Structure 1
């Protein structure tokens, strides 16, 4: 039988695959934090809103997950996201490695890592190819993403 924390991570990604953001939100502790190359240092309220925003706006969205493992305090998984980037209408395949810190049956820290330059080339086309490796574009994408998240949260 799989470790309960492995079951938690598998449940999280199963909900994700079904676009069940409420199921995903329930996996996080009240003091959870999340970071990835775009959304950094989100608190629990923000990360829950982020998944709701992303899934409610997703077009042609699908994920596949694998390599899930966990022990008493840590876990990891690999997941691939397939979607149309809404700002440009471009197809994206994002390959992501996730790490988790877990306590009391909940996610307390979730970190996703992916190659920003690879993502930018797909999502943004020529400008992503040209500038995706720069700190400037990375910062602009972060600012736009946080602005979108703040507006989404304010509208609720």
Structure 2
């Protein structure tokens, strides 16, 4: 197995245990992370996001598969089942992750999923009606950034 594939398995196994510290250790210091809710730079900021999500995800269940990696790039599919904290609605999200590597660590991490599908589950009728719209996507991104900023402030 390629060392980068082993790194991704280590990352997702830590995620399954909600071990945000072990997850953060998989990132290069100048790493970037992007998904529909977050756009982050630097291992400390990315680690804080994972800490927030792991600590708040009391009922989080995660599975992953299709892990492939070579010298420069990697990918994985993963699924998360959890209760969305703001609405208390159940979510089953299917994600395709893409990675690049530097110095044996994750350098870029991009998670892609259907925002409309996620918003229908997490937000209910509002997500069903507006989940396709850039307006709701911007609103969710702004709320995620605010939540992360507040979480970071509580840690200081």
* TM-score range normalised by the length of the shorter chain: over 0.9
Gaps of 5+ in 1: none
Determine the C-alpha separation between the residues in 2 that align with 1:43 and 1:129. Answer: 34
The answer for the alignment partner of 2:79 in structure 1 is: 80
| Deviates further, 38-47 or 138-147 | 38-47
Stretches (4+) displaced over 3 A: none
Q: Does 1:130 pair with 2:120?
A: no
Task: Give the TM-score of the pair, scaled to structure 2.
Answer: 0.97
Task: Give the TM-score of the pair, scaled to structure 1.
Answer: 0.97
Aligned residues: 155
Deviation per residue, 1:69-99 (Å, 9 max, x gap):
1001111000000000000000000000000
Matches within 5 A, 1:96-115: 96-115=95-114
Q: Helix, strand or coil: the match of 2:138?
A: helix
Gaps of 5+ in 2: none
Contact 1:59 1:86 in 2 (8 A): no
Determine the C-alpha separation between the residues in 2 that align with 1:84 and 1:67. Answer: 25
Offset at residue 105 of structure 1 (A): 1.3
Matches within 5 A, 1:45-124: 45-124=44-123
Determine the C-alpha separation between the residues in 2 that align with 1:89 and 1:125. Answer: 10
Determine the C-alpha separation between the residues in 2 that align with 1:42 and 1:87. Answer: 25
Determine the C-alpha separation between the residues in 2 that align with 1:95 and 1:43. Answer: 25
Q: Does 1:43 pair with 2:31?
A: no
Determine the C-alpha separation between the residues in 1 that align with 2:56 and 2:117. Answer: 22
Offset at residue 60 of structure 1 (A): 1.3
Determine the C-alpha separation between the residues in 1 that align with 2:18 and 2:85. Answer: 17
Deviation per residue, 1:19-40 (Å, 9 max, x gap):
1111101000110000001112
Q: Helix, strand or coil: the match of 1:38?
A: coil
